[in-house]
Structure formats: C-alpha cells, structure tokens
Structure 1
Amino acid sequence: MTRTGPRRLLPPLVVAALCAALFAAAAVLVSVRHGTPLAPERAAHHWTTVHRGEPLSSLARAVTATGTGAVPYLMAVLAGLLAGRHPLGRLRAAACTVAVLAVGQALRYGLMELLARPRPPAADWAGHAAHYSFPSGHATTSALAAGLLAWGIAHRARPGVARTWCAVLILWACAVGVTRVYLGIHWPGDVLAGWLLAATVLSLALLAEPVALPPPGAADSPTPVRLRGTP
C-alpha cells in the first residue's frame, strides 16, 4: 500500500465492523444463555460423538495440533519475511505480523475469561483442552496465521499463485476449526466466533499496513546508494 486514502480504508473498515458486530451478537447470546449451547450445537456435538472413530480421530488430532504453539508464529514470521522489500524491512514486517498474532491471541484469551463459557462434557473429548470454550483459541489462532501468511504471499507471489495459496490456507484454517468440534472439545459457535474475531483483527491490521511496509521514499525506507559520478 503506497497511499492510505478513504477508498483504500473503507473495505477493511466495513469487514471489521461487520465481523465485530456478528461476534458481539454471538457473545451476547452466549452471555444471556449462560453458555448453554443452542439446539443445533447440541445436535452437531451429538453427531460427532456418535460417528467419531479411527483413523479420522487421529488425523483430526494431528490437524488440530497445527493450530497452536509454534506453527502459527512461524507462519507469522514467514509472512513478514515474504512481504518485506529489504532485509531491515523484512524484520520490521515480521515483527508487525507477530505482534498482530499476539494481540489477537490476547484478545481471545481476555474474552474467553470474561465470557467463561463451559466446554462440552469432558467425557466426550477426544483430545486435550484447557480453560473456557468461547471463542475457540485454535480457530482464532489458525485463522490469524492463515490470513497473515496469505497477506505475505500476496506481496511476493504472482496473483495466480497467491490465490492458490490463499485457498490452501483457508482450507487449513477451516480444517483446524472443524477438528475442534469433531473432537468434542468445542461447540460449533465457539469456532465460528473464533473466525469472526480473527477476521476483525486482520481487517483492522490492514489499516496499519504502512507501518509494516513503509512506502518507497518514506523516512525509514533504505536510501539508495549512489556511485560517485552518477547523477
């Protein structure tokens, strides 16, 4: 982004406002119901407990493990390294992408503690879980990491390649979210809320893109070295 004009700011603001409003509505619903799941959530949870089995359970645990820990942060660092235009710029961009991921996780954790929605019964779990349920940490974190890496690839690759990788990353983030429900660890609404929270954070982060990627000619952009005798 070389210019921050109203037309460039409007789409991210609209997406952020829409996703934030939907998340707020879901959070209010969870709060009013004291965490009690909706009928469709109960039905989805019951279906997974009845139909769950091997080898899908092992595959789901392997996929869900990529949605937390080091993997998302490595993806965030890679996003910054791909987007930066020069060595110092790559470090700057990587620091910004990691900061976005960390802020998103901090927001998720604070909201989770505030709303304190209970998880599904522990007897139905087919994996490890801790803390409260809403919003899903794995869904939030994987969606944030996928969005950041898609942004980094878009700044480095050709449009066709970038679109392909964007689709792959979306599928991965969706798979991580689905596994949380399949393993009986989250209600479906937790996962949807995680995606909405991630979309809100990513949309707002786009507004700060000039901080991560200063436009050419900015004060902190590298000054070209001129050889003696050149104009």
Structure 2
Amino acid sequence: MIKDATAGHRSVAGPVAPCIRTALGAVLIGFIGLLGLTVVVLTARHGAVLPIDRAAHAWSLHHRPSALVTAAKAVTATGTGVFPYAAAVAAGLIAGRNPRRRLGYATGALAFLLLGQALRYGLMEAINRSRPPVGDWATHASGFAFPSGHATTSALMAGLLVAAIGHRAYGSRAGRVAAALAGCWAAAVGLSRVLLGVHWVTDVVAGWLFAAFWLGLGAALIRTALPAHRR
C-alpha cells in the first residue's frame, strides 16, 4: 500500500522538474535577449535606425495592399482594449476544475496580465524610443515604441491560454492544436504592427522576449509555490 502511494506521488510530481526547467529557460532567454536588445537600441540614439528595422519597415511599406492592411487592422485590434483582459479571465475559467478554483485562477490570470503590463509600460517610458515616421502609419498608434504593447499583450494572452489548456488537456491533440493556434495568433498580432508601419521589428521582438520572461517567471513561481495536488 505504501509502495503504491509512493508511486502515485512520483507520477504526479515527476513532470514538475522538467516544467520548472522549461520555465527558467524562458526566463533566462527572455531576460538576456531583452537586455541585449535594449542595450543595442539605447546605443543607437539620435535618430539612428537599426539596419534590420530599416529593412523590415521598407519591405512593409512596399508589400501592403489594401486587403492586407484591412486584415492586419482586424488582427491588430485583438491585441489591445478589452479583449486581452477578457481572454485572461477566460484562461482562468478554463484552468479551474470547480467554481472556487475558476474564480481564483481568473483573478490570478488577470492580475498577472495587469502587473506585466505595468512593468512593460515602465520599461517603455524609461527607454522612450520613437516610432517610425507618422507618414508611414496605416493605423492609429500612441506612446513610445519599445517594447511593443500589442506584441507583449498578445504573447502574454497566448501564454495564459496555452497554460490553461495544457492544465486541463495536457498532451491531447486538441490541446496541441489550440496551443499552436494561440501562438500563431500572437505572432500575427506582433507582425501586424510592423506591416502597419507603427513599430520597428525590434520593438515586436522585444515584446515577445518580455512576454517569455514574464510567463516563465510566473510559471516557475507557481510550480515551486503550489504543491502538485493543489494545481
């Protein structure tokens, strides 16, 4: 009986260590990548534009027919406003297995997104990088450029949804498909900002790196703070 209980405990706790390693890897990659990109951007002051930003911006200006711009506007609209916060709540509701946990997870997911947004906004204000020329914009934008708010928000939303789906349907085909769709959607939102001319490509990459750091940190803290049987 004791042997069976021990085996059961190991089967539950076994995946935890790999998950923590993955989360810490995301933290490391996100932090180092974002730090390095920030240093590069800060050293390129006084109106200098990075070659990769100049090339991507020029390509977008010459490859955006009206139909593609319309589609990009529709996609980019899902990366701001009420939608991200509603999606965070939805992720919590998906993850919970009973009303009490659903409420707790939804509140936690919303708080996680809001705190991440606050940190991203502080970083954006501290770096105060200018956007591409206003004459090149195909949609409205406001604030500084780095890191991209839309790219960060959509990546955080995708991460929360993937985590919630994985919590309820780990390893299932439906779960993998849903995770792939969420990742593709987040990538599309970020790339739409470059296509519409309101962000440099490194702004978008910085948003993805920030999201990787924040999601990894959140996952690592949850995995180490909560026993497996409580999640």
* TM-score for the superposition, normalised by structure 1: 0.88
Per the TM alignment, residue 212 of structure 1 is displaced from its structure 2 partner at its CA by 9.3
User: Are residues 65 and 207 of structure 1, via their aligned partners in 2, closer, same or farther at CA, if it must alter by over 3 Å?
Assistant: same
Aligned counterpart for 1:141 among listed residues 144, 147, 153: 153
- Which consecutive unaligned segments of at least 5 residues does structure 2 have? 1-10
Which residue identity lines up with residue 107 of structure 1 in the other structure?
L
Q: Which letter maps to 1:94?
A: A
1:64 aligns with 2:76: yes
1:184 aligns with 2:197: yes
Q: Name the SS of the counterpart of 2:158 in structure 1.
A: helix
The alpha carbon displacement at 1:47 in A equals: 1.6
Q: 2:119 aligns with which of 102, 107, 121?
A: 107
> Among 32, 36, 49, which residue is 2:48 paired with?
36
Which position in structure 2 is the counterpart of 1:206? 219
> Which residue number in structure 1 is paired with residue 4 of structure 2?
none
Residue number in structure 2 paired with 1:171 = 184
The one-letter amino acid paired with 1:76 is A
| Cα-to-partner distance string for 1:7-27 (whole Å, 9 max, x where unaligned) | 543221122112110100000
- Would you say the 8 A contact 2:29–2:209 is kept in 1? no
Q: Note the C-alpha offset of 1:146.
A: 0.5
Which protein has the bigger helix share? 2
What amino acid does structure 2 have at the position aligned with 1:53? P
Contact 1:48/1:182, CA 8 A, preserved across alignment? yes
**How many residue pairs end up in the alignment?**
218
Percent of counterpart pairs with the same letter?
47
Alpha-carbon distance in 1 for matches of 2:227, 2:214: 20
CA contact (8 A) 1:150 1:165 kept: yes
CA contact (8 A) 2:27 2:216 kept: yes
Quickly say closer, same or farther: Cα 1:14–1:104, change in 2 above 3 A: same
Flag the 1:149–1:8 CA change in 2: closer, same or farther, 3 A.
closer
Shift of 1:50: 2.1
Q: Is the 8 A contact 2:16 2:223 kept in 1?
A: no
Code of the residue aligned with 2:28 in structure 1: it is A
Q: In structure 1, what is the Cα distance between the partners aligned to 2:221 and 2:96?
A: 15
Per-residue deviation, 1:80? 0.7
Q: Indicate yes or no: 2:38 matched with 1:27.
A: yes
Residue number in structure 2 paired with 1:84: 96
Superposed CA RMSD in Å reads 2.2
Say if 1:188 and 1:197 are closer, same or farther in 2 by CA, change over 3 A: same
Structure 1: give runs of 5+ residues left out of the alignment.
222-231
Contact 1:154–1:162 (8 Å) recurs in 2: yes
Equivalent position amino acid for 1:49 in 2: L
Runs of 4+ in 1 over 4 A off after TM superposition: 1-8, 210-215
Amino acid at match of 1:166: A
TM-score, with structure 2 as normaliser: 0.88
**CA deviation string 1:108-148 (max 9, x = no partner):** 10110000100000000000100100000000000000110
Q: 1:7 to 1:156 in 2, by over 3 A?
A: closer
Using the alignment, how far apart are the partners of 2:168 and 2:17 within structure 1? 25
Alignment correspondent of 1:11: 22
